[in-house]
Chains A and B, each alone.
Chain A
Amino acid sequence: MWDYTDKVKEAFLRPKNVGEIKNADAIGEVGSIVCGDALKLYLRIDRETETILDARFQTFGCASAIASSSALTELIKGKTLDEALSVTNQDIADFLGGLPAQKMHCSVMGREALEAAIANYRGAPLLKTGTERVVCKCFDVTEDKIRRVAMENHLKTVDEITNFTKAGGGCGECKSEIEKILLSIVIQESR
């Protein structure tokens, strides 16, 4: 059994801000039923001040996915879009008193849904363009995402990448590719 904090349990058993917003100003959708978790985030936004007036969610996933979604909505309500964009996946995990290492991808999913919603509001395309290179076929994870999550969270090993993005957690065929990406980041950073 997972070692969830009391805050995770509370946010899972009694999540805040559940449901849809009719005629939402922005919708961000990430994940899929195939991968085992998915989050749909709805925002109501004050057009003048670009403040998030309301945030609601629907999540398919485990306890920590539901808790992370609830935490996300609590963190961003009342913030301007720019302020909200500075919320990191670590902030979501911290809000919950931490997540088990293997569940960090739930916090990453929250952060991604937020970005998707804001991109949607600002008129950027909601879905991936299809030109990004998919590294992990099992969980549909792109090179961009691996790079970003690795840099933001200072990840050093393939296992960490798997914990944060799921990439590598299926057939394992992409592991050597992930290794290469990690190596290129190290080289970049040491320049």
Chain B
Amino acid sequence: MTTIYLDNNATTRTAPEVVEAMTPYLTELYGNPSSMHTFGGQVRKKIEDALEQIAALINAEPEEILFTSCGTESDNTALMSAVETFPQKKHLITTRVEHPAVLNFCHYLGRKGFRTTYLPVNALGQIDPVVLDNEADADTVIVSIMSANNETGVIFPVGTVAPRLHERGILFHTDAVQAAGKIPLDVRKIPIDMLSISGHKLHAPKGVGALYVRKGTRFHPYMIGGHQEHSRRAGTENVASIIGLGKAAELARANLTEEIAYLGRLRDRLEQGLLSSCPHARVNGDTANRLPNTTNISFEYIEGEAILLRLNEYGICASSGSACTSGSLEPSHVLRAMGVPYTAVHGSIRFSLSRYNSDRDIDTVLEVMPSIIRDLRELSPFGRDKRVSSGGQTNE
């Protein structure tokens, strides 16, 4: 059975070009970039190339980039640096729909005595910049708002909020882990102070990330030790993966326009097809401001894990915001923050595409999904013509 991989917001295939670029640095070119000999020095050069490639993806300067071990480390570093370098300020703002890498770090700081504000989202999963204006005050050290949401693909108005915060002298960080390589990002046009990138979301390997820190921004390292990365991140560089991330960034930048069009077309075909062939299905999130590769659809009255395991029988990989798949007993915090009704929240399925998907992949999903949904609805005590338990809400 061939795998139909539609879970690219979880992780992506490492691009063959990336693997090729990395291989020499996993084999014969094993030098330490900090060494004084030519053998290590040639590795240093490649790291500098990677810095340039990442910088180009977001229109930054190479000196403004540091490599990390993952998106989570980038997010943690940004927030920690802000509170370390402005010790007199004790307030942070983020959103209710952030990735746990930001959300749980804010919870942690909250327990350490910081005041934390979690901005609500509307039914479309969108924040209100005016609410942010009102919540921010002289005590606010940093605002962290993701560029795009991992579950719904909703793109946040970073371009609107960043200048207003900049004017007020409040740091702005954005978790661009899902956005980088999927939509244009420009830190020269938009005054973003810090921006997080994760390698494995854009066809680089797992275990490498990057953090952009605007020139002149006060910075405090999170990893403390040696003088690597200009003393901004200690630890011997993950050389091969860094080179891979550079290559992945270069590929993403070179093909961005075509990929946006290609993925948008495939995604829309999938979404329209499912909505028209499966009754009681609804799209979650702001479809007017959304990553081109993502669709999050709720199939009402049935449960997401069951849908995923049926899809799995056909080699189709997707993910769900249902409680049963998260390892917790509560469904997706993102969908709950949006107020998605309980009839729909448990049956949400996210399909996230990449350049390696084809029309044939979409055909297969469109072929098998209606009968999976029908089958599980047959099994369900809820739904049309069936009694809905007192606790449930119907949303026809």
Contact = CB atoms under 8 A, between A and B. Distances in A.
Interface stretch (A45-53, A55-63, A181-189): A55-63
Contacts of B322: 36, 62
Contacts of B343: 33
B378 A38 contact: no
B331 to A, nearest CB: 7
B330 A12 contact: no
A35 B306 contact: no
Chain A facing B: main interface SS: mixed
Given A33-B346, A33-B382, A61 B330 contact: no
A65 B330 CA distance: 16
Contact of A59 (B330, B379, B392): B379
Q: Is the interface of B mostly helix, strand, loop or mixed?
A: loop
A48 to B, nearest CB: 30
Interface residues on A, range: 20 to 34
Interface string A72-109: 00000000000000000000000000000010000000
A124 B302 CA distance: 30
Contact of A32 (B325, B330, B391): B391
Interface string B359-393: 00000000000000000001111100000111110
Contacts of A139: 329
B387 to A, nearest CB: 9
A63 B305 contact: yes
B87 interface: no
Contacts of A12: 306, 309
Contacts of B391: 32-35, 140
Contacts of B330: 138, 169-170
Interface of B: 301-306, 309-310, 313, 322-325, 327-331, 342-343, 346, 378-382, 388-392
Given A31-B389, A32-B391, A38-B381, 18 more contacts: A12-B306, A13-B309, A13-B310, A32-B390, A33-B391, A35-B391, A36-B303, A58-B379, A59-B381, A60-B346, A60-B380, A61-B303, A62-B303, A62-B304, A62-B324, A63-B324, A66-B379, A170-B329
- Which 7 A-B pairs give the minimum distances between C-beta atoms? A169-B329, A62-B324, A33-B392, A32-B391, A62-B305, A58-B381, A40-B381
Interface of A: 9, 12-13, 15, 18-19, 29, 31-40, 58-63, 65-66, 102, 138-140, 162, 166, 169-170
